[in-house]
Structure 1
């Protein structure tokens, strides 16, 4: 089965060159935005006037998932701009460093007037991934941003993460005006299907405890991968055309043209889903508009 790591091994040089070109283009766009923008009370240039009520600019029934790419020399100003363009009520991020997420939050507020709460699902403290002092490396793992407050947060590390510690996090928050349990996860990488089987079993058991759930994440597996069977038995993808069979038509979500990123829904109705390519990651930003009423 083809994985992200397999394709990376086959075409790493080409991919790095392509990503570098996109990042350069993105840096130019960000520089122009900063140069042309007016100043905020925080002394940070603004791409547009701040709204009177920032929360009104968030799409209340929209959720998103995005693997930020790490290690990648990507602009947090650019990452924030990509999120602000679609303004989800909730976004789950993977390969997320605490410092990067804090920077993204600040740019979302100061440049775009979008205010988010945050919860972290860090499973590593890794200097190589996230920097920081050698005795105090940055936290690395998952994060959830929500325009509404979050409660009952849990952070679970999988018994076996594979070549790197992995886990899931969950919170209760508000989407489309209704309370809902939201999960965010990152499954094992490379040729680690057997490990992902165990991880899916752990996650599915917890998801099954809740009547209404949204599961966001990078599952490192294509839709018909056997290890995703427990998830498909509980939930549907937000893309109604994407199913774990040869008849399904699943839009790809990565630079290597595979679908690894999902918005799984349990007792939640999807109105639409879109995949948005980004200059700032090797994964696309995936967002879905939902009906919880």
Structure 2
């Protein structure tokens, strides 16, 4: 850039090329400070969290609430707080899970495989074109590849279609069957009883299994009996007797969300974590699958 002339206080002053370049650099720096860095939609002013390692023996379950107009950036951040090896999501639209998975990768350095278990297409819940609404149901994210995928819709979903998604993947270095489900709404006990009959038959076919999900049933509900006979909760103090100690997992202070373990898989730790972004809490367990 060549020099030029500028008028200061009515006098013409000669400005060198070096001074022009220096002024340009300073102007760009000031603009950058005023505008600030770009951020994905919904991220707010908070910077991305640093990348962290996935916890190889940790599993989680979370009903992410739908329809709830929550940011998938925030949902991804909640999952990244715990960085599980496997997480089962319920009430999940495929488009939302796609975005959550991408935010986990780009904002938190956590890379997951994904499998979907849609049970219906619903424009009001999942958007899309009216003639091609988005898919809704369960999803599983796993740091390891998933095989032998089975997506089953229950014969009777109650007021809304429901089902389970089953895969084989790696947890704590061992191959294990993982099943993610969402049962009929809480006032539909007879429907849930039949759904659990179908689910228990699937669980019983595997010597070792982890069953995640929103069961819409309290621990001593009669319909859960057949599942308690096959597996136990990751919290050893949580069981169907009235002396059991089960943390609540919903905004209405009930225990509906579980991590059931079958076949000698034991929990080294567990927790229920409140969140602003759903009416269900996140539930995690750190497992010994050896």
Same fold (TM over 0.5): yes
Partners of 1:240 and 1:167 in 2: CA distance = 27
Give the number of aligned pairs: 248
Which residue of structure 2 lines up, in the alignment, with residue 4 of structure 1? none
CA distance in 1, matches of 2:55, 2:186: 35
- Cα deviation, 1:202-230, whole Å, max 9, x if unaligned, reads 00001000000000000000000000001
Work out which structure has the larger RCO, using CA pairs closer than 8 Å and 6 or more positions apart in sequence.
Answer: 1
Q: Between Structure 1 and Structure 2, whose CA radius of gyration is higher?
A: 2
Q: Distance in 2 between matches of 1:251 and 1:151?
A: 33
Determine if the alignment matches structure 1 residue 89 to structure 2 residue 55: no
Q: Secondary structure at the residue paired with 2:65?
A: coil
Separation in structure 1 between the aligned mates of residue 198 and residue 166 of structure 2, nearest angstrom = 13
Hey, which bits of structure 1, 4+ residues long, moved more than 3 A? none
- Structure 2, unpaired ranges of 5+: 1-41
Aligned to 1:271, which of 238, 249, 268?
268
Match of 1:189 in 2: 185
| Residue 151 of structure 2: aligned partner | 155
Pair 1:168 & 2:170 matched = no
Q: Secondary structure at the match of 2:229?
A: helix
2:73 is matched with: 77
Give the CA deviation at 1:136: 1.1
Distance, in Å, in 2 between the alignment partners of 1:190 and 1:262 is 15
2:141 is aligned with 1:128:
no
Partner of 2:289: 292
CA RMSD of the aligned region, Å? 1.1
Q: Show the 5 A alignment for 1:250-269.
A: 250-267=246-263, 268-269=265-266
- Cα offset for 1:272? 1.2
Normalising by structure 1, what TM-score?
0.83
Secondary structure, aligned partner of 2:218 = coil
- Map of 1:211 onto structure 2: 207
Tell me which of 57, 64, 79 is aligned to 1:61. 57
Per the TM alignment, residue 284 of structure 1 is displaced from its structure 2 partner at its CA by: 0.3
- Does structure 1 residue 231 correspond to structure 2 residue 244? no
Name the structure 1 match of 2:49: 47
Q: Deviations over 1:40-84 (max 9, x none)?
A: xxxxxx332x46xxxxx0000000000000000111100000000
Structure number having the greater helix percentage: 1
